[in-house]
């Protein structure tokens, strides 16, 4: 009976992943398919502006709810979870309003500081983007708690269609770079309205139990999330996004634009599986920990990621220097070269990020905070030093620092979840054949392209 129950649980996990992967695959396909068109409608300078805007938006929105949202799946009572949701939405609204005031008074100074004077004309989009993105994160965690993976997948598809359609349409109408930035806002959080309507329709009885007293009680009970996870999330986001802003400010030319395209292209295979697995992992991790199966469950997830996603990432890294000029235009060759450098970083991030919630589920928020502070110091410090000593290789140094950080992160997650080194090696080893096949395919593709060019 125990074996049968475990089999049913694994089947439910696979089905849940399948639903999210389907929606995410469609969203990623839309995003990737429009990239060759966007690179011909917008210039690398426009993409540099997008890189800076998206980085600022990511840094603020990820902490706008003070990380209360990630506690939503944890309480046993739906009423407690609903009060956490309301608290998260209130906090995100306050942060969005404060962002609006800050932008109103200091838009010129912000644009000059990041080396993008044209950004000051578009910073009015930032408060809206913060509110939508952070609000979407909160309601998405509620949907994850209720295991409504279908509606999450649907909102991801509508966001991708709306964001990409806006970017293409406004780019075609020569509203540049406004189209890129507005499309980014839509793609980041427009699904907030769809998930919000679903909550009001399906959970009206629970919503009525929301109160100021209940929100205050939940804030006290889960105060470790604002105390530790807010700074952890800020450090995590800043370690990835702040170097992009620094690169844009220090570089001569659209280096940040090339970096943005490289990251967007590599995000497709990562988002296809990694994002879906992360959502479903969070919905199951608490149950697995209570039953004493967190270590094997986490190791199985890591092994599945290694088998399904690492190979495509390596293939993309091998062929990108040849493929990018053909797909996106000759002026984007530099972006293809950056993808090759960034591949080891993204491989380790792909393995570590979906199971990173282990640190929160096991109550190790202080460890997560220290890890992210280490990553922030490592990556920002590496970029600043490279900007001083070897400015022409600053992005390459950024890529290497990302690989070092996520390798350390995966090791810590494995240790705290109770996974032994041999067990982790055994599950990852199962994906070796698939990884080798993708690597050989990439080498063959490069060889064929050289033969054709000759």
CA distance 393 to 379: 14
Cis, peptide link before residue 194, omega less than 30° from 0: no
> Is residue 68 within a helix (H) or strand (E), and if so which, with residue range?
none
Give tens-digit pLDDT for 273-321: 676 677 678 778 877 887 888 888 888 888 888 888 888 899 999 999 9
Question: How distant, in Å, are the alpha carbons of 288, 297, 331, 409, 413 from that of 358?
Answer: 11, 11, 42, 11, 7
Dist. CA 221–CA 271, nearest whole Å: 33
Question: What is this structure's pTM?
Answer: 0.82
DSSP state of 226: I
In contact, 184 and 57? CB cutoff 8 Å:
yes
pLDDT at residue 250 in the model: 84
Q: Which two tokens stand for residue 336?
A: 């293809």
For residue range 312-369, what is the model confidence (pLDDT) as tens digits?
Answer: 899 999 999 999 999 999 899 999 999 999 999 999 999 998 888 888 778 787 888 8
* Domain boundary assignment for the chain: 33-222, 224-454
Rounded Cα gap, residues 85 and 75, in angstroms:
12
At residue 220, the pLDDT reads 93
Residue with tokens 């105060």: 223
Q: How far is Cα 97 from Cα 103, in angstroms, rounded to an integer? A: 10
């Amino acid at each position: 009976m125990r074996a049968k129950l475990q089999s049913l649980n694994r089947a439910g996990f696979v089905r849940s992943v399948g639903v999210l992967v389907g929606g995410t695959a469609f969203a990623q396909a839309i995003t990737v398919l429009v990239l060759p068109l966007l690179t011909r409608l917008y210039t690398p300078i426009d993409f540099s502006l997008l890189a800076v805007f998206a980085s600022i938006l990511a840094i603020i929105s990820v902490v706008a709810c003070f990380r209360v949202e990630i506690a939503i799946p944890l309480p046993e009572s739906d009423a407690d979870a609903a009060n956490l949701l309301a608290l998260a939405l209130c906090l995100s609204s306050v942060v969005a309003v404060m962002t609006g005031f800050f932008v109103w008074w200091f838009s010129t100074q912000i644009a000059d500081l990041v080396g993008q004077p044209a950004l000051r004309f578009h910073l009015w989009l930032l408060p809206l983007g913060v509110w939508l993105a952070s609000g979407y994160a909160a309601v998405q965690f509620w949907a994850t708690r209720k295991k409504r993976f279908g509606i999450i997948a649907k909102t991801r598809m509508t966001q991708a269609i709306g964001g990409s359609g806006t970017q293409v349409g406004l780019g075609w109408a020569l509203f540049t770079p406004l189209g890129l930035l507005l499309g980014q806002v839509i793609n980041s959080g427009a699904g907030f309205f769809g998930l919000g309507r679903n909550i009001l329709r399906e959970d009206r009885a629970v919503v009525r139990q929301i109160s100021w007293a209940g929100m205050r009680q939940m804030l006290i009970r889960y105060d470790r999330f604002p105390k530790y996870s807010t700074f952890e999330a800020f450090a995590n986001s800043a370690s990835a996004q702040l170097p992009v802003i620094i690169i844009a400010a220090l570089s001569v030319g659209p280096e940040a634009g090339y970096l943005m395209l490289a990251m967007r292209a590599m995000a497709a295979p990562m988002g296809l599986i990694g994002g879906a697995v992360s959502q479903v992992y969070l919905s199951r991790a608490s149950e697995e920990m209570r039953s004493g199966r967190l270590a094997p469950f986490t190791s199985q997830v890591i092994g599945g990621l290694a088998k399904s996603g690492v190979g495509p990432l390596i293939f993309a890294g091998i062929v990108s220097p040849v493929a990018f000029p053909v797909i996106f235009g000759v002026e984007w060759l530099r972006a293809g070269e950056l993808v090759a450098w960034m591949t080891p970083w993204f491989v380790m991030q792909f393995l570590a990020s979906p199971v990173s919630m282990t640190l929160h589920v096991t109550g190790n928020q202080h460890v997560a905070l220290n890890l992210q502070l280490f990553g922030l110091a490592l990556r920002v410090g590496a970029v600043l030093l490279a900007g001083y000593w070897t400015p022409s290789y600053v992005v390459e140094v950024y890529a290497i620092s990302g690989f070092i950080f996520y390798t350390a992160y995966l090791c810590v997650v494995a240790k705290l979840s109770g996974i032994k080194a041999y067990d982790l090696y055994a599950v990852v080893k199962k994906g070796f054949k698939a990884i080798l096949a993708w690597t050989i395919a990439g080498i063959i593709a490069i060889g064929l392209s050289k033969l054709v060019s000759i």
